Amino acid sequence: MTQRIIVLGLDGATWRILDPFIRDGTMPRLAEARQAGAWGGWQSTVPPFSAQAWVSLMTGRNPAKHGVTDFWEAGEDRGQSAFVNSRLIQGEAIWDILSRQGKQIGVVNVPVTYPPPVVKGYVVSGLLTPSAAKDFTYPPALREEISAAVGAYEPDPFDPLRPGLELVEEFRYWMGKHEAAAQYLLQRHPTDLFINVIQALDQLQHLFWNDLAALADETVAAPTEIREALRECYRVADEAIGHRLDSLDDETTLFIISDHGFGPARNFFHVNRFLAGHGYLTFAEEEANPSQRIFQRLGLTQQRLKDTVRRADVLGLRRYVGRMARMGLARRLESMAAIPLDWARTRAYAGSPASEGIFVNLQGREPHGCVLPGAEYEAVRDEILAALRELRDPATGRPVLAQAWRREELYDGPSLPKMPDIIFSFGDQPYLASDSLSAPQTIAPIPADYLQGRHCPEGIFLAVGAGIEPGIQVQGASVFDLVPTILNALDLPLPDDLDGRSLAEVFSDGWRHTHKIRYETARSGSSAAAAQAPLYDAEEAAAMQKRLQGLGYLG
């Protein structure tokens, strides 16, 4: 029997929203799939961000092994040098393994697949594809074929420029366009493994979590126009689920997954302010230039300038320019007010918001390191970890963090040195990490028009179709488990360096009897990407940076 696997990714999907939509009839096909399948939650990467999590889903390995540890590829001086891309993926991804095994692969709209890798089959890249890119497919001719089939096509069109009804309608349009392309490829170019991701749900939840939570609350009446538009987006996702269910046969298994969950975002945790307050970060006040001194005397911090531009209708700005343009102006004003750091006396500093961690200013590693390796380094980490565990929200008195670790307590692999020395997690609590250098307090409200939702650790997992035992509740699973489960389902050996396990419990006894788990020696090297594909130019990088800032991924 020839086994076929279909994977449908719902980026950021959470049962917190999907459960009520199942109950009220918004998502009947998802209800059907769950009734007939095995399902539950699974844990994302730490931190639970899309760049790290999707590469972990596609490799079965932790970020320290596969090499994608942030949205940014860090430079030698820890500065943000370039956005991550498929060339950075270390070791074999699922498309490499199956191509090597002679299987046909279809990969569509999966994040961090630009430039598209060379596979036995085809790839249409997804999140982090430059907006003007023409080389987003492998083979290259597939781009024209898709356009001929469904019309003008963009792999990553979702842009949080104007939160409102118009933006939701635009998202729904592109969801439909992407699904039309996925259906065309599924039918015209059948494969042994087909994976595609619906990206829009993640960004809708960032921007409209409060409205989605109101929709999910069955006691809230009087749905608004924008809430009904959001519901329609989930109906489009449910139609995609229905299309996959309709394609099932005795040889096809469907996995419906998300890379992480979601929840509300209410407050910033300004990590550098926390470090400054505990004496680990010091500003070089004497090096401030005249404009910075003026702003300082007026009490105009970076954060206050940013909030003023973001909130106020300065010169009628809201009537003429979008939210991201206002953010750009705010950041330019911020740079005028920034006070430089005194690196000789700064022992630790915040990582990027999407790394949720703290770097020690280690001598011999950092450009201006002042902390000695060995005992002093470990003492600084111990002290900061103790302070993090004691951190309380002044409004509630409750801990801000769910947990904090030394990086080696979480992960191992050749890219571990790129990761923060300390990594923390908010769990399901409503905080967002910030690397601002000018925030006046450690915990501060997130402006209402910035964003409403944040990533949470628990995503969704659902399996239905050939070999699946209905009614199984999946427990103790993680995003690292997808690759070994797919390989086991296809009766192929698992590389011996995977961090996940096959979720064999979701399959029937008979299936497990004929699909024994076995292993092979892991292959080294990087995921093969198109050799001549250009990456981001300065304009594309600036545009991508604004988009990711608007979603809270960058400071």
What's the rounded mean pLDDT across residues 160-175? 89
- Residue matched to tokens 């995977």: 498
Whole-angstrom distance, CA of residue 555 vs CA of residue 552 = 7
Spatial CA neighbour of 256 closest among 246, 243, 236, 241: 241
Reduced to 3 states (helix: H, G, I; strand: E, B; else coil), residue 446 is coil
What's the rounded mean pLDDT across residues 98-121? 97
| 322 vs 409 pLDDT, higher one | 409
| 367 vs 312 pLDDT, higher one | 367
* 288 has pLDDT over 70: no
**How high is the pLDDT of residue 530?**
45
Percent of the chain with pLDDT strictly greater than 70: 84
Reduced to 3 states (helix: H, G, I; strand: E, B; else coil), residue 384 is helix
What's the rounded mean pLDDT across residues 283-303? 55
Whole-angstrom distance, CA of residue 40 vs CA of residue 477 = 9
* 320 has pLDDT over 50: no
What's the rounded mean pLDDT across residues 325-347? 68
Render pLDDT for 171-204 as a digit per residue (tens, 0 to 9).
999 999 999 999 999 999 999 999 999 999 999 9
Within the chain, how many helices (H) and strands (E) appear?
Answer: 19, 22
* 80 has pLDDT over 60: no
Q: Please state the domain extents for the chain.
A: 4-264+455-550, 267-453
What's the rounded mean pLDDT across residues 20-41? 97
Whole-angstrom distance, CA of residue 171 vs CA of residue 198 = 11
| 448 vs 139 pLDDT, higher one | 139
**How high is the pLDDT of residue 307?**
53
**How high is the pLDDT of residue 550?**
73
Written as one letter, the residue type at 266 is: R
**How high is the pLDDT of residue 132?**
85
Give Cα 456 distance to the centre of its chain.
10
| 317 vs 470 pLDDT, higher one | 470
* 292 has pLDDT over 90: no
* 143 has pLDDT over 90: yes
Give me the residues paired with residue 283 across strands.
341
Percent of the chain with pLDDT strictly greater than 90: 76
Contact by Cβ (8 Å): 268, 22: no
**How high is the pLDDT of residue 77?**
56
User: What average pLDDT does the chain have?
Assistant: 89
What's the rounded mean pLDDT across residues 138-165? 92
Write the DSSP string, 135-171: --EESTTHHHHHHHHHSS--SS----SSTTHHHHHHH
Options 3.30.450.20, 3.40.50.720, 3.40.720.10, 2.60.120.10; CATH of 4-264+455-550: 3.40.720.10
| 451 vs 106 pLDDT, higher one | 106
Spatial CA neighbour of 354 closest among 133, 84, 2, 98: 84
**How high is the pLDDT of residue 222?**
62
pLDDT-based confidence at residue 163 (cuts at 50, 70, 90)? confident
Which of 24-33, 276-285, 288-297, 391-400 shows the lowest mean pLDDT across its residues?
Answer: 288-297
